[in-house]
Structure 1
Amino acid sequence: MPPHAHTEDHDHDHGGHGHAPAVSARNERRVLFAFALTFGYMLVEAVGGWLSGSLALIADAGHMLTDASALALAWGAFRLARRPPDALRTYGFARFEVLTGFVNALALFGLTGWILWEAAQRLRQPGEILAGPMLIVALIGLAVNLIVLRILRGADRTHVNIRGATLHVMGDLLGSVAAILAAVVIWATGWTPIDPILSALLSALILVAAWRLLRDTLEILLEAAPKEAQPAAVRAYLLSHVEGLAAVEHLHVWSLSSGKTAATLEAQPAAGTDPQELVRAIKRELAQRFAVGHATVEILWGEAGEVCALEAEVAEAEALAAKS
């Protein structure tokens, strides 16, 4: 190969990006069933909170909305993973779950603001709360969360969305316990301010979940490198573990969606190194060490590692323009 040429090798295996394991009907059914239970009871709890006058129940329903959103994203990711890339969407539909998560996060901030405002109003002017119905609804909510948690523990927990949904449900268990505590206190003492106080605490759980969701989706939408594959760490690892690799230039690492990582880089081979074998070794290390499922590796030639392919393309374009 001439010294000013380059070779480029792409990995277009869209079936296994990063940490996302293969889609299974078992995972999909479990997540869908868990979503149906969570979303259905979220509506029941919201209505129960409104009828009983309990803001804590309404806040817990808001937290269950974060659970339902996480489960819906996990299920949507499984469904969309079945759809192959097309001419316009060469990466497929992986970003759909990210966009949905971003919108959900913004909605949760709005919900939390309303709960906090309503809690402040009720602290100034406490209203009547039906402790009996509130306790019943909260106990059923606790049972639903335990059932959903058991369902998710039977799914493939190596999937990032299932792990995230499991953490959401575990957090909601605390919300159900708080609502039960508020109902017991009101029933035993008649002290209704416990309800808006605990609803404010539940709002903090919603805020934490919403902030994490917003942060993670923004990082992906901004094409930031995932924490486990920072470019500096990737470059240092490749140079120390790939035999025959002299230099790494123009390294980019970004997330396509949760658990799906892509990378591009320019690699300069050492003298006497087979470039094809070098590309294979780089991709192997990227996949095994950093879970990069889509990698594009360009070979640099010359002592300085300059990239001459673009210059050749520009010269060719200029020549064609001059002829015309």
Structure 2
Amino acid sequence: MHSHDHGTAGGGGTRRRLIVALTITATFAIAEVVGALITGSLTLLADAGHMLSDSIGLVVAVIASVVAARPATDRSTFGYRRAEVFGALLNSLVLLGIAVLVAVEGISRLLSPEPGEVLALPMLVIAVLGLAVNAVSLGVLRGGRVESINVRGAYLEVLGDMLGSVAAIIAAIVILTTGFASADAIASLAVAAMILPRAILLLRDVMSVLNQSVPTGTSVADIRAHILESDGVVDVHDVHVWAITTGAPVFTAHVVVDASIFESGRTDELLDSLTSCLSHHFDVEHSTFQLEPATHAGHEHAAGRHA
């Protein structure tokens, strides 16, 4: 006995946000690479590399959002929404790679007896423009970061870019006012330090979905308690909660009910009640219940029963 109510993650709104952010980010990333080569700034080059990785990630995110919108089939019964998760996985790995590369180059420059000349004024101008561009992209992606793990990954990457621009601005000001050229390498290490935790957090969320863990903020005990409060419900077992992608939780359970529910033909009424409970109280998109009389519960395999 089932209740289905599928949403539309990876829809047109998500794609529009991603495409606008991609256009802005890719355009300025190229400009920032040129600026980094002209000024000799590692911080700008690090930020440019981060923005280029963002552009790649956004391309993947757009493709994933298109794939995720494909309808379910007999072989892919939940559709292709998991594609968003794989897109976010790639983004997190790219972020980790960028953080490591920037950190290695930054340390190398700090250890070098000649840190090299950095043209601080052009660096400052480019960093300020980068901050403005990232702020616009961040605003575009902000509205979709909760409903889609793909957009969230892109949002976190652009946020890292924005913080990288701030670091570049600070480094440029320090070099202009003090002549301390190593400020550029130090700022690049700060950029790497800002990228790393966001990459790890995104990777953790991706692995949680792929491992079919209970979604963050969802309590199996609370769901079970709500179900047990329903009229005619005697027990609940074999409870499973996982997510296809962010914002798309799935729930299954065996619900033991009083014989009177079957005798009076109120199974449809109970199913409607249970479905409404999960939808309104726990935002569960797809729920499946197996209603069974108390006499049937004894036939269940002990090893397959879960609280």
TM-score (structure 1 length as normaliser): 0.80
Work out which of the residue numbers 79, 89, 108 in structure 1 matches 2:66.
79
Deviation at 1:90, TM superposition (A): 1.1
Work out which of the residue numbers 206, 226, 230 in structure 1 matches 2:195.
206
Deviation at 1:116, TM superposition (A): 0.9
Q: In structure 2, do the counterparts of structure 1 residues 81 and 208 end up closer, same or farther at CA, with 3 Å as the change threshold? A: same
Indicate the residue corresponding to 2:93 in structure 1: 106
Matches of 1:235 and 1:284 in 2, distance apart? Answer: 14
1:291-321 CA distance string (max 9 Å, x none): 1111111112234723469xxxxxxxxxxxx
Indicate the residue corresponding to 2:24 in structure 1: 37
Work out which of the residue numbers 237, 254, 259 in structure 2 matches 1:249.
237
How many percent identity over aligned positions? 38
Deviation at 1:170, TM superposition (A): 4.1
Higher relative contact order (CA 8 A, sep 6+): 1
Deviation at 1:13, TM superposition (A): 3.4
Indicate the residue corresponding to 1:139 in structure 2: 128
Whichever residue aligns with residue 270 of structure 1, its letter is D
Matches of 1:56 and 1:285 in 2, distance apart? Answer: 52
Q: In structure 2, do the counterparts of structure 1 residues 245 and 300 end up closer, same or farther at CA, with 3 Å as the change threshold? A: same
Tell me whether 246-255 or 73-82 shows the greater mean CA deviation.
73-82
Work out which of the residue numbers 47, 51, 63 in structure 2 matches 1:64.
51
Matches of 2:70 and 2:298 in 1, distance apart? Answer: 39
Work out which of the residue numbers 277, 283, 295 in structure 1 matches 2:275.
283
1:59-90 CA distance string (max 9 Å, x none): 32344357546755664454234310122211
Matches of 1:104 and 1:177 in 2, distance apart? Answer: 22
Indicate the residue corresponding to 1:177 in structure 2: 166
Q: Is the 8 A contact 2:249 2:285 kept in 1?
A: yes
Matches of 1:254 and 1:42 in 2, distance apart? Answer: 38
Indicate the residue corresponding to 1:90 in structure 2: 77
Matched, 1:124 2:116: no
TM-score (structure 2 length as normaliser): 0.84
Deviation at 1:156, TM superposition (A): 5.6
Work out which of the residue numbers 227, 240, 264 in structure 1 matches 2:252.
264
Q: In structure 2, do the counterparts of structure 1 residues 87 and 123 end up closer, same or farther at CA, with 3 Å as the change threshold? A: same
Tell me whether 55-64 or 262-271 shows the greater mean CA deviation.
55-64
Structure 2, unmatched stretches of 5+, are 302-307
Matches of 1:104 and 1:49 in 2, distance apart? Answer: 23
Alignment partner of 2:260: what SS?
coil
Whichever residue aligns with residue 149 of structure 1, its letter is L
Matched, 1:217 2:209: no
Q: In structure 2, do the counterparts of structure 1 residues 160 and 101 end up closer, same or farther at CA, with 3 Å as the change threshold? A: closer
Q: Is the 8 A contact 1:54 1:134 kept in 2?
A: yes
Alignment partner of 2:276: what SS?
helix
Whichever residue aligns with residue 227 of structure 1, its letter is T
Indicate the residue corresponding to 1:13 in structure 2: 5
Structure 1, unmatched stretches of 5+, are 1-8, 310-324
Alignment partner of 1:265: what SS?
strand
Alignment partner of 1:292: what SS?
coil
Q: In structure 2, do the counterparts of structure 1 residues 65 and 205 end up closer, same or farther at CA, with 3 Å as the change threshold? A: farther
Q: In structure 2, do the counterparts of structure 1 residues 69 and 217 end up closer, same or farther at CA, with 3 Å as the change threshold? A: farther
Whichever residue aligns with residue 197 of structure 1, its letter is I
Whichever residue aligns with residue 110 of structure 2, its letter is L
Matches of 1:28 and 1:210 in 2, distance apart? Answer: 22
Q: In structure 2, do the counterparts of structure 1 residues 26 and 276 end up closer, same or farther at CA, with 3 Å as the change threshold? A: closer
Q: Is the 8 A contact 2:148 2:245 kept in 1?
A: no
Matches of 1:304 and 1:13 in 2, distance apart? Answer: 28
Deviation at 1:223, TM superposition (A): 0.6
Matched, 1:55 2:42: yes
Q: In structure 2, do the counterparts of structure 1 residues 265 and 73 end up closer, same or farther at CA, with 3 Å as the change threshold? A: farther
Matches of 1:268 and 1:70 in 2, distance apart? Answer: 47
Whichever residue aligns with residue 141 of structure 1, its letter is G
Matches of 1:131 and 1:51 in 2, distance apart? Answer: 11
Work out which of the residue numbers 231, 234, 239 in structure 1 matches 2:223.
234
Matches of 1:270 and 1:51 in 2, distance apart? Answer: 77
Whichever residue aligns with residue 136 of structure 1, its letter is V
Q: Is the 8 A contact 1:179 1:198 kept in 2?
A: yes
